[in-house]
Structure 1
């Protein structure tokens, strides 16, 4: 029997690594530089997304200073982000889990950047909304 969304929500733990992150946009030609930065950071969380138009990079704020010279032409807002990890192994075929989290966070006025690893989900939110987001997620669990 597969796990339901409600069962997953009951079992999930939400935690943060207490790091501040920056979200950067680079031109598509910067893929090699961005991949090299991710490889050298060796932090437990960073993200690199490449599409036909751009390279997006989410890295710890402290790493930006170290790698600025290699990330020429980056764009980024002057915002800091926090990571919330949903600590439960989720089956790939689960439908609606992130939708439930997203709905609750939207009701709380929190904008999200969702990321999926192979087995776990992560939510990146602006630092100023972190406490509100954690309260909303805990409230969601208590409603089940």
Structure 2
């Protein structure tokens, strides 16, 4: 029987690592530099997203000082983010999980940056709203049991 959103929500635990993250924007030609920085950081959590217009790099705030000179033309987000991993293995056919997470956080006036790994989802929230986000997710999880 396929996994349901209610099952996934009931099983999900909110994991956080207590690290402040920055979103870095780079020009498209900086992909190699960004990938090199990501490889050298070499620990979770980090992300690299490349599209036709830009390279986006999500890294721990403390790493920027070490690597800024290798990231030509970068712009760093003014906002500091905190990670929340929705720690449950999600079936690839599951529909609506992130919609429910997003709706619960939107109702609490919390902006999110959603990211998906192969088997679990992650969200980044503004550092100042982290505790509120955890509480909203716990309320959603409790209501799903």
Q: Same fold (TM over 0.5)?
A: yes
Match of 1:142 in 2: 142
Please state whether the residue corresponding to 2:92 is helix, strand or coil: coil
1:88 corresponding residue in structure 2: 88
Tell me the CA shift for residue 77 of structure 1: 2.7
How many angstroms apart in 2 are the aligned matches of 1:88 and 1:141?
12
After superposition, where does 1:116-131 map in structure 2 within 5 Å? Answer: 116-131=116-131
Structure 1 unmatched runs, 5+: none
Q: Which residue of 2 aligns with 1:50?
A: 50
Per the TM alignment, residue 141 of structure 1 is displaced from its structure 2 partner at its CA by 1.1
- TM-score normalised per structure 2: 0.97
Partners in 1 of 2:68 and 2:118 — Cα distance?
29
What per-residue deviation string (whole Å, max 9, x for no partner) do you get for residues 63-84 of structure 1?
1000000012111232210000
Alpha-carbon distance in structure 2 between the residues aligned to 1:18 and 1:40: 21
SS of corresponding position for 2:115: strand
- Give secondary structure in 1 for the equivalent of 2:119: coil
Residue in 2 that maps onto 1:98: 98
Tell me the distance in 1 between the aligned counterparts of 2:10 and 2:28.
Answer: 41
What count of residue pairs does the alignment treat as equivalent? Answer: 144
CA RMSD of aligned residues (A): 0.7
Q: Distance in 2 between matches of 1:96 and 1:2?
A: 13
Q: Give the Cα–Cα distance (whole angstroms) in 1 for the partners of residues 77 and 60 of structure 2.
A: 14
Which runs of 4 or more aligned residues in structure 1 lie more than 6 Å from their structure 2 counterparts after TM superposition? none
Quote how far apart the aligned CAs of 1:3 are.
Answer: 1.1
Q: CA deviation at 1:132?
A: 0.7
Q: Equivalences for 1:1-144 in 2 at 5 Å? A: 1-144=1-144
Tell me the TM-score normalized by structure 1.
0.98
